[in-house]
Chain A
Amino acid sequence: MPDVIPDDSVGLVTPQLQHFDQPLTLRSGRVLSQYDLMYETYGSLNADKSNAVLICHALSGDHHAAGYHSMDDKKPGWWDSAIGPGKAIDTRHFFVVALNNLGGCAGSTGPTSMNPESGDVYGPDFPILAVRDWVNSQARLADVLGIQQWAAVVGGSLGGMQVLRWSIQFPERVRHAVVIASAPKLSAQNIAFNEVARQAIAKDPDFHDGWYHKFGTIPKSGLMQARMLGHLTYLSDDAMRQKFGRELKEGKLNYSFAPEFEVESYLHHQGEKFSTRFDANTYMLMTKALDYFDPAADFDNDLVKCLSRARCDYLVVSFTTDWRFSPARSEEIVNALIHADKNVSYACIESDNGHDAFLLPIPRYMEIFKAYMQRVANSIPATEGKA
């Protein structure tokens, strides 16, 4: 709980809900006849609507990227380290839009929403989405807000995939793309981790093939296992050694199967927390979108050809100990962009924090991010009559 809101915070924010009744045809061929998107904005939109920045969230993120909902909030939004006055994404220059993606469980239409056709919640019947479906829905939100072209589209991990997709799907609507700790497609190892997580959920007796709401249960243990596995792949060996080592909770071995090492209770805590706030069907769906992402597939599996469509400039960032989205994967994107003759800068940030690093205020990361966003701010066309 903040006693006072820090000066570099966007302060108290209120989410907004936007209803869409124009049907959205999805990659799978299914159609969402109507849907809602929950979003937040920070900063103010300039007169010619040229200073807007879209934030794309990752697997478990939502629209609450920065600031506080109330003075009782324990924590600010998930990317508060990067969004605010004077921060990398400086809300004194930019109008920032962050939304909860379709299929999410934080207010946008998803598996927990009412299906207008059946009169019941969607549950596992909610269509499986692809990254491009999110981008299409985000484009409609941009239309509603009157944003013809984003000054920048920014995201990490699965968010970075949305950024890549934006840059080739709506090339004329993106001036700058910031792709952090991401990949042009998942590796077999990465898909395998997702499948283990999905299986943990699916095999939980409380899952009921996704219809758990009908049984008044939630697949808590499955979700917990999925999150524990995910969480540990987001950390590095070094980070875990530093944070936990072999510390024992009670200072001695108890010769029991209850959690004894600090790392065990940490994972339990993370899993527990997650299982009560996140919807299992959403988790299944989000990991599927990750697995499916492969924009080069439509271009003879040629990433260079794929990215040749883009018209924006790129910043690509990776982290040394990130093994879930390793620097080599970011470098695939960078090399393809170079071959496609695009403007691109790339930095690989030294960090012990694994994949999680993209959410942390690592000084060098923030300096580079800020320098690039300053460049984005400088490229905002001057509004007529502006001093």
Chain B
Amino acid sequence: MTVLRDDLAIIQQWVKPDSQVLDLGCGEGSLLSYLKRHKNVRGYGLEINPEKITACIANGVNVIEQDLDKGLSNFEDNSIDTVIMAQALQAVQRPDLLLDEMLRIGDEAIVTFPNFGYWRTRFYLLLKGRMPMSETLPYNWYDTPNIHMCTFRDFEMLCREKGIRILNKTVVDDQHKEHWTIRLWPSMLGEIAVYHITRK
């Protein structure tokens, strides 16, 4: 049995067996490969990194070379059960438009992103006066791919504005683990957010 990264382990719980998924920024295809083998899920991954595309092909995963910033117009409305995007929301040009696209194509979507409201991040900025860096956010402000950082509250506000319903949410620490302390004050103590959303 394959061991999945913990945020992926959370995601897979929310994917229905025998359904179809689209994984945006699918990496080496580990989630798709897991879902295929354990839940009989069919699907496609979109990726632009050449090494990761080759890895997907080697893993027996359907991978399409496609840039998320160029849109998803090649996918039809309501053609996919669940559209997944793990740790890519903050790296695209227009996260708001991409969310719209995800819920145009899919009945449901699952999104994970790093929480910029995590206490360490807040204190880093407050005390050092510099853009926060950590294991989850290892980049300098000028070379980071994470161009649209947000907090849990920012994300939930955007969902409210767009009429997007939150079906489930979970927060995990930098080890991608759920911990009881996080539940006390998730917007402060959670480092990575996992949201399950729909328009219905």
Contact with A along B47-68 (1 / 0, CB 8 A): 0001001101110111111100
Contact with A along B68-95 (1 / 0, CB 8 A): 0000001110010000000000000000
Contact with B along A319-352 (1 / 0, CB 8 A): 0000000000001001100110101111110000
Contact with B along A257-296 (1 / 0, CB 8 A): 0000000000000000000000000000000000000000
Tell whether, in the assembled complex, residue B79 and residue A345 are in contact, meaning their CB atoms are under 8 Å apart. no
Interface residues of B in 22-46 (CB under 8 A from A): 42, 44
Tell whether, in the assembled complex, residue A367 and residue B76 are in contact, meaning their CB atoms are under 8 Å apart. no
Tell whether, in the assembled complex, residue B54 and residue A371 are in contact, meaning their CB atoms are under 8 Å apart. yes
Of A339, A347, A364, A374, which one neighbours B58 at CB under 8 angstroms?
A374
Q: Which residues of B contact A367 (CB under 8 A)?
A: 54
**Docked CA distance A318–B58 (Å):** 19
Tell whether, in the assembled complex, residue B50 and residue A364 are in contact, meaning their CB atoms are under 8 Å apart. yes
Tell whether, in the assembled complex, residue B57 and residue A371 are in contact, meaning their CB atoms are under 8 Å apart. yes
Tell whether, in the assembled complex, residue B53 and residue A368 are in contact, meaning their CB atoms are under 8 Å apart. yes
**Docked CA distance A267–B76 (Å):** 45
**Docked CA distance A345–B56 (Å):** 9
**Minimum distance in angstroms from A176 CB to a CB of chain B:** 12
Q: Which residues of A contact B74 (CB under 8 A)?
A: 331, 335, 338
A79 within 8 A of B: no
Q: Number of A residues contacting the other chain (C-beta, 8 Å)?
A: 20
**Docked CA distance A339–B105 (Å):** 12
**Minimum distance in angstroms from B57 CB to a CB of chain A:** 4
**Docked CA distance A331–B58 (Å):** 21
Tell whether, in the assembled complex, residue B44 and residue A375 are in contact, meaning their CB atoms are under 8 Å apart. no
Smallest Cβ-Cβ distance to A350: which chain B residue: B50
**Minimum distance in angstroms from A344 CB to a CB of chain B:** 6
Of A339, A345, A368, A374, which one neighbours B64 at CB under 8 angstroms?
A345
Smallest Cβ-Cβ distance to B29: which chain A residue: A345
From B60, B64, B75, name the one whose CB has the most chain A CB atoms within 10 angstroms: B64
From B42, B50, B63, B75, name the one whose CB has the most chain A CB atoms within 10 angstroms: B50
In the assembled complex, 24 residue pairs joining A and B whose CB atoms fall closer than 8 Å, in A order, are A315-B57, A338-B44, A344-B44, A344-B62, A344-B64, A345-B53, A345-B56, A345-B57, A345-B61, A345-B63, A345-B64, A346-B65, A347-B50, A347-B57, A347-B65, A364-B54, A368-B54, A368-B57, A371-B57, A371-B58, A372-B57, A375-B57, A375-B58, A375-B60
- Additional pairs, 20, CB under 8 Å, beyond known A346-B66, A347-B65, A372-B57: A315-B57, A331-B74, A334-B64, A338-B64, A338-B74, A343-B62, A344-B62, A345-B53, A345-B57, A347-B50, A347-B57, A364-B50, A367-B54, A368-B54, A368-B57, A371-B54, A371-B57, A371-B58, A375-B57, A375-B58
Interface residues of A (CB under 8 A from B): 315, 331, 334-335, 338-339, 341, 343-348, 364, 367-368, 371-372, 374-375
Interface residues of B (CB under 8 A from A): 20, 42, 44, 50, 53-54, 56-58, 60-66, 74-76, 79
